[in-house]
Amino acid sequence: MKCPFCGSPETTVADTRLSDEGDIVRRRRRCLACEKRFPTFERAEIRLPQVVKKNGSRTDFDSGKLAASFWLALRKRPVTLEAVDAALARIEGTLLLLGEREVRSENIGEMVMRELKKIDKVAYVRFASVYRNFEDLDDFSDLVREVSDPLQERRGP
């Protein structure tokens, strides 16, 4: 590790501590050339899969875009930040557990719809109407019937 003060590559670790959550290692280092001390932080690097869009193009997974989609569907709905954060964490956790290098955007959309359905049915209908590209009122009616009839969910379409 190069010293940020003098640029010397000769440094030693003086102290190592874990964060309260245990996911970050904080190290205090000392430069052997200029004797100054500085902290470094280590965190595990987690690679989420690339997203394969409908047109076949690929892009990096963007958690900000996922959160923006949630908040757009949840606009003016009484949902807590904690509930949204938990849903986003479940989706990202599922993507990590898949262990795949690529995931189709349709699969992510389905995960979003499942989470929104648990959090807020109105937001679920909003997202589904855009995601499934509804053409007429019958599409909305079918979805609203599905959401309002709990037996429909168990029976299937």
Looking from the CA of 92 toward its CB, the CA atoms found within 13 Å total: 16
Confirm if 87 and 81 have CB atoms less than 8 A apart.
no
10-residue mean pLDDT profile of the chain (157 residues): values are: 94 91 89 96 85 94 93 93 93 91 94 93 84 67 70 49
The pLDDT value recorded for residue 119 is 93
The pLDDT value recorded for residue 109 is 92
10 Å Cβ neighbour count for 74? Answer: 21
The pLDDT value recorded for residue 23 is 80
The pLDDT value recorded for residue 144 is 72
The domains of the chain are located at 11-43, 50-155
Looking from the CA of 27 toward its CB, the CA atoms found within 13 Å total: 12
Q: With helix as H, strand as E and coil as C, how does 5-20 read? A: CCCCCCEEEEEEEECC
Task: List the helix and strand counts (H, then E) for the chain.
Answer: 6, 6
